[in-house]
Amino acid sequence: MRNFLAFIRRFQVLLIFALMQGVALTFYFTFVHFPRSQYLTTASRISGTILEIRNDITKHFDLSNSNTKLQEENIRLMEEHPMSFIQLDNGLAEINDTVYRQQYAYMPAIVINSTHDKRNNYFTLDIGSEQGVKDGMGVFSSNGVVGVIHNTSKHFSVVKSCLTEDINMDIMVEKTGQFGLLKWNGRDARRGTMSGVSNDTEIKKWAKVVTRGGGGIFPRGISVGKVEKTDVVEGKPLWDITLLFSEDYRSLQRVYVVKNLLLEEQRNLESQNPVDQDQ
């Protein structure tokens, strides 16, 4: 106690000055409008900046988790969509579990390496045979078709992109059903072509083009792109159709691998088709 009183006596002038300074500043900011508003504005700005930085940091670290949850939700919705089912009864029937059987399942994946400026382009995914991925499975994104699994290892897969010269994917004009093959000319990563469509049929500009589903790799109806222009193939009764891709392959990040649960049955049946032989 004696030491405390000695401290007070020694610094009493400084303590009285600090107390009076605090009282003066309190009255100044309380009753004088301009400095008070400046103080509140500055404090608010500093507080807002700190909160904004904290929010940006939180969003950055939570973004990956949010995207993964979004992929999982998309898979759940896609597996409930009619395109993922095959109808077992074509007659009139009450909708129940015996009328439809699931045909397609989906696996989420992240693109960890890719090219888009070569003649033949590929993507590397972070899932492989250990997760059930096999060669020949289809791959698409939330925007549209991406490509086909080319080969796999235990933990990774390589996808042959739509930006390859021999992609030859079955596609069709959605509303009219005219079908052909997807091709890529090796020049523009945003555009492909649709070949094999007869020019005696009208193809409207910006008509949506989707997967046909005949090869069993993709469900029917996944977006490929839109018709940008049509030209007549010289000397042939065919259209040369330019497509604007639905997906921008230069910025691809998250995709889905398609598993056709009935593909083996389909291919076994098709392998029994008679083969034409020259006599």
Q: Dump strand ranges (E) for the chain.
A: 85-87, 100-102, 104-114, 122-125, 138-140, 145-152, 157-161, 169-173, 179-183, 191-198, 208-211, 223-232, 238-245, 254-260
The reply to whether 14 and 141 lie within a common domain is: no
- CA 140 and chain centroid, separation: 8
Residues 156 and 20 in one domain: no
209 and 146 within one domain: yes
What is the rounded CA–CA span in Å between residue 257 and residue 159? 10
Residue 193 has a pLDDT of 96
239: domain CATH number is 2.40.10.340
278 part of a folded domain: no
Confidence (pLDDT) at 71: 67
- Looking at the fold, whether 29 and 130 belong to one and the same domain comes out as no
Q: Looking at the structure, do residues 245 and 126 belong to the same domain, yes or no?
A: yes
| Distance in angstroms (rounded) separating the CA atoms of residues 189 and 209 | 17
The residues, any chain, with a CB within 8 Å of residue 202's CB and separated by 6 or more, are: none
pTM here is: 0.67
Q: Say if residue 258 is in the same domain as residue 146.
A: yes
Q: For residues 171 and 178, what is the distance between their CA atoms, to the nearest angstrom?
A: 9
Within this chain, do residues 187 and 249 fall inside the same structural domain, yes or no? yes
pLDDT value for 45: 59
Query: Which run of H or E residues covers position 145?
Result: strand 145-152
Q: How far apart are CA 140 and CA 149, in angstroms?
A: 11
Instruction: Please give the C-alpha separations between residue 91 and each of 73, 110, 260, in angstroms, as whole numbers.
Output: 32, 41, 24
In a domain, 77, yes or no: no
Mark whether 143 and 257 lie in a shared domain. yes
Between the alpha carbon of residue 61 and those of residues 47, 51, 110, the distances in Å are 22, 16, 17
**Do the domain assignments include residue 66?**
no
The neighbouring-strand residues paired with 138 are 148
Give the pLDDT confidence score for residue 95 in this predicted structure.
36
Q: Domain containing 205: what range?
A: 82-262
One digit per residue, the tens of pLDDT, for the chain of length 279 reads: 667 666 667 767 777 777 787 776 666 656 555 555 555 455 545 655 665 665 565 545 555 665 666 666 666 666 665 555 554 444 433 334 444 667 889 999 999 999 999 999 999 999 999 999 999 999 999 999 999 999 999 999 999 999 999 899 999 999 999 999 999 999 999 999 999 999 998 999 999 999 998 888 999 999 999 999 999 998 999 999 999 999 999 999 999 999 998 888 888 888 888 766 554
CA 127 from chain centre, in angstroms, equals 16
The DSSP letter of residue 214 is T
Residues 48 and 149 grouped into a single domain: no
CA distances from 157 to 4, 112, 132, 199 (A): 75, 10, 11, 39
